[in-house]
Structure 1
Amino acid sequence: MSLDDIWKKTVEALESKINHSVYMLLIKQIAPVSLDESTLYLKIPGTMSMSYLAEHKEEIEEAVSEILGIKIDVVAIQDESPETIDAKASRKQSAALEKPAEPPHPSRIGAAPHLNPKYTFDNFVRGSTNQIAYSAARAVAEAPGNVYNPLFFYGGVGIGKTHLMQAIGHYIASTRPNLIIAYKTTNWFIHEFTTSIRENRMHDFRNHYHKIDVLLLDDIQFIEGKEATQEEFHQIFNDFYERKKQVVLTCDRPPKDLPKIEDRIISRLSWGLVCDIQQPDFETRVSIIRNKLDIEGNYLPEDIINYIAEYIRTDIRMLEGALNRLFAYSKVSGKEINLESAERIIKDISPESKKEAVTVQKIVKIVANHYNLDAAAVLGKSRKKELALARSVAMYLAYDITKLPQSSIGNEFSGRDHSTVIYSLEKIRSEMESDPEFKKTIQYLKDRITG
């Protein structure tokens, strides 16, 4: 993959993450200069403030790191060449951007705003870990506002939450072009809200959201602890729900595990359907790799596909980053990729995948040893006080570390009901809040389990 190809993919990835005006400025004014092992050098015009790029440096680094599958730092080089007419125009645009952008009017949002063109239902690879979420997404796309409102996806990083959310937007845009769709990150929502307060434009802000028919809001967990933002979101949500306008949300946790969000909002987040998207299993990872190869028109032997799927177990973006790195190596070196070279090239992409897998059994064993108990007894049905405490701790850590559904964790503990797991989670959280020493014990056990 050439440097221009890498920058093109980076720009495409940024399209759905940053404000449209900023995105256009990045395309027209910033150019890649060179890329070494861990640093991407970008040239910016002398008329652009270095601090302006610094505001978006983290987003650029994240995007290019995902593409290449390794941590990349971005360094800006200022071009001191004479100012052209285009540069003067861009300087005016840059100056305008120093003022936080006005929340866009729905008429400027377009049919499918800020949606990644690759995030469609056709490109989504289904498997046992995401089938329910996929089916729910299709149902909402076909009847927005009438089923599963809100639709709430939760799960770890890079497992397809944003893909499914944006696939809903693409489908509705193509089948119901009269509807106004808005995809936003929660951080951008917060920025719009605070800017509107500062500039006394709350009427425009509320009017903007009132005109939207389908709101796709990514990473809702970021409103935790922000009371004013939560109050405004609560009002906007109620308005959408009463008018039967669709809301789709993503989060890294289920609603009940967001302690710094008001109870009335937590309740509303669960009104529709809450869908857990888990890490893809081996078969799904293989299908994802094959799908990516088909889209890009590339080929890899079956043994390399299986190796990548086995080696990288947690993050779809890492799978794609591994493929990008392999083909970049092949293009630069002029050599075909074989299993030996593939192992060498991607060995540092996902080092955690070579660690011992964290299972419920491993967690129970470590907790039991800490309390000088037998692991089988902790998993068993005895209600002795010392066993009950260790069992609750093990359930809490199993849920916190493995992200397994509560029902699955209950099954590991002699088939206990998920309500028992919920009780244990609440009990341990309460104890941690009231007893600092107990909280330290939980953290110590977690470090031992994951270290």
Structure 2
Amino acid sequence: MDSFNDVLSAAKEYCKERLVDATYNLYIDGLEAVSFEGSGKVVLSVRNDFICTIVRDRYTPLLKEALAAVLGFEVEVELVVPATAPEKPAAPAAQPAPAVPSGKYDFTFENFIKGPSNQFAYAAAQAVASNPSGAYNPLFIYGQSGLGKTHLLNAIQVEIKKNHPDFNIVYVDCEKFTNEIITAIREGSTELFRQKYRAADVLLVDDIQFIAGKESTQEEFFHTFNTLHNAGKQIVLASDRPAKEIKSLEERLRTRFEWGLTADIQPPDFETRVAIIRRKAELFNLDMPNEVAEFIANHLKNNIRQLEGAVKKLNAYYMLEGIQPVIGVAQNAIKDILNETQPVPVTIEKIIGEVGRTYNVTPAEIRGMRRTANISAARQTAIYVVREITGMSMEDIGKEFGGRDHSTIVYSLKSMENNLNNDRHLKETVEDIIKNVRS
């Protein structure tokens, strides 16, 4: 069996569900697998130059999404026509290949690996799921990124939906919630926005720390929280820090977040890390030797997503190249994961987006030339945070902000430093922005 073709077939099916038949038949169905490179690049063959151009311009994002759904991690896609396609390597020796996984196993309680570091949060989540509004309301779960908070929120959703199919369950991350508020304010559709969230029987909000410093978002969420809580509806919140450490959070919200139960998740111990690795391998039908699982667990200690990412890499090596999971291969997979850093351009976009949501302005306005008080304040904050996180030169920062010169950037930074020394609220807002960008 050629596992690479199996992967591509599954990815094609993913695309087929999202395209009309004529489009799928013309542009996707004829794609052929050429090679998978260890760097994370998939090379596909396209029938001719015309189709290659169309697929590259219009359907590459869908192909990347489909392959990520099948493999469990993102890859780059290169399209070539037969005349320039590199020779396809010989298939590995015949061996039983694992079934092609969906890449995203269900976030259920059954698939959550329990240990001393998360047992309390797990039990609290189960209690809420089995008795919505009757156990802890709100339930506030916090812990570092990649430790299982999102898994528990989804598990609560799955369990309640199973037992109460008539319930209106609304799951949202705080960034999306904020963006919806901004859009609703601009389009004059705030009433529709309120109806969506205040009609929920269960409201689950991930990454609630992103509410920090956003006045309009906090105002809307305060009233949404009150409406639901007063009506006896269940609220579950997840954050990367406890409510008391979200610096620019209004006191009235902080108090409400602490009304119910607060449960934390800590990094998993060695035994739990090994169990997570072995469970993930089982879901991929990947034969994971004990020494390889323990090697990974000894080197990746603070993030469950990294543990799962290592297993995904090993599974991809086996599926696509027939390479067995051994310690040497695991070393390479771990090196790739530990070296994965966010490119500076992506970080800058994230900073400007987060500052824009905080000040209720658009990224274009922050980069532009308008000088209204709110836009200028947002621009100075964004410049300061970019300098603080990336360490870029004044000249490079100026280029990112509409081609502003060195002296303008220096002035903005000095003004911000002075304002931060004299304005505690601004200092807390900036601290929260930096934490949110880094989370």
How high is the TM-score relative to the length of structure 2? 0.60
Corresponding residue number in structure 2 for 1:298:
286
Asked if 1:332 is matched to 2:334, the reply is: no
Corresponding residue number in structure 1 for 2:122:
134
Asked if 1:277 is matched to 2:265, the reply is: yes
CA offsets per residue over residues 289-335 of structure 1, 9 Å max, x none? Answer: 12112222221111111111111112111111111211222233334
Mapped contact 2:12–2:66 kept (Cα < 8 A)? no
SS of the residue 1:349 aligns to: helix
- CA change 1:176–1:256 in 2 (3 A) is same
CA offsets per residue over residues 320-371 of structure 1, 9 Å max, x none? Answer: 111121122223333433333333443332369xxxxxxxxxxxxxxxxxxx
Mapped contact 2:41–2:78 kept (Cα < 8 A)? no
- CA change 1:65–1:298 in 2 (3 A) is closer
Corresponding residue number in structure 1 for 2:231:
243
Distance 1:24 1:273 in 2: 41
- CA change 1:279–1:202 in 2 (3 A) is same
Q: CA deviation at 1:266?
A: 1.2
Distance 1:11 1:315 in 2: 32
- CA change 1:205–1:226 in 2 (3 A) is same
Asked if 1:261 is matched to 2:249, the reply is: yes
Distance 2:216 2:13 in 1: 33
2:145 aligns with one of 157, 162, 169: 157
Aligned length: 308
Distance 1:251 1:138 in 2: 18
Distance 1:220 1:11 in 2: 35
Mapped contact 1:10–1:64 kept (Cα < 8 A)? no
Corresponding residue number in structure 2 for 1:385:
none
Amino acid corresponding to residue 129 of structure 2 in structure 1: A
Asked if 1:123 is matched to 2:111, the reply is: yes
- CA change 1:337–1:209 in 2 (3 A) is closer
Q: CA deviation at 1:147?
A: 1.9
Amino acid corresponding to residue 165 of structure 1 in structure 2: L
Q: Residues 40-189 of structure 1: matches in 2 within 5 Å?
A: 67-68=72-73, 74=76, 118-189=106-177
Mapped contact 2:117–2:267 kept (Cα < 8 A)? yes
Mapped contact 1:152–1:249 kept (Cα < 8 A)? yes
Amino acid corresponding to residue 304 of structure 2 in structure 1: I
- CA change 1:315–1:60 in 2 (3 A) is farther
Corresponding residue number in structure 2 for 1:402:
none
1:346 aligns with one of 308, 330, 334: 334
Amino acid corresponding to residue 313 of structure 2 in structure 1: R
Distance 2:20 2:241 in 1: 33
1:316 aligns with one of 304, 311, 322: 304
Q: CA deviation at 1:254?
A: 0.9
- CA change 1:172–1:232 in 2 (3 A) is same
- CA change 1:63–1:120 in 2 (3 A) is same
Q: CA deviation at 1:133?
A: 0.1
Distance 2:7 2:271 in 1: 30
Q: Which moved more, 1:222-231 or 1:40-49?
A: 40-49
Distance 1:238 1:262 in 2: 14
Distance 2:11 2:250 in 1: 39
Corresponding residue number in structure 2 for 1:210:
198
Asked if 1:225 is matched to 2:225, the reply is: no
Which stretches in structure 2 are left out of the alignment for 5+ residues?
82-103, 341-419, 432-439
Q: CA deviation at 1:262?
A: 1.2
Corresponding residue number in structure 2 for 1:413:
none
Distance 2:150 2:120 in 1: 15
Amino acid corresponding to residue 278 of structure 1 in structure 2: Q
SS of the residue 1:177 aligns to: coil
How high is the TM-score relative to the length of structure 1? 0.58
Amino acid corresponding to residue 135 of structure 2 in structure 1: V
SS of the residue 1:247 aligns to: strand
Q: Residues 413-432 of structure 1: matches in 2 within 5 Å?
A: none
CA offsets per residue over residues 377-416 of structure 1, 9 Å max, x none? Answer: xxxxxxxxxxxxxxxxxxxxxxxxxxxxxxxxxxxxxxxx
Q: CA deviation at 1:5?
A: 3.5
Distance 1:322 1:11 in 2: 26
Distance 1:273 1:333 in 2: 48
Distance 2:13 2:272 in 1: 28
Amino acid corresponding to residue 138 of structure 2 in structure 1: P
Distance 2:162 2:174 in 1: 25
Mapped contact 2:71–2:312 kept (Cα < 8 A)? no
- CA change 1:236–1:283 in 2 (3 A) is same
% identical equivalent positions: 39
- CA change 1:5–1:220 in 2 (3 A) is farther
TM-align CA RMSD? 4.2
Which stretches in structure 1 are left out of the alignment for 5+ residues?
13-22, 80-115, 353-431, 444-451
SS of the residue 1:153 aligns to: strand
Mapped contact 1:218–1:251 kept (Cα < 8 A)? yes
Distance 1:246 1:159 in 2: 23
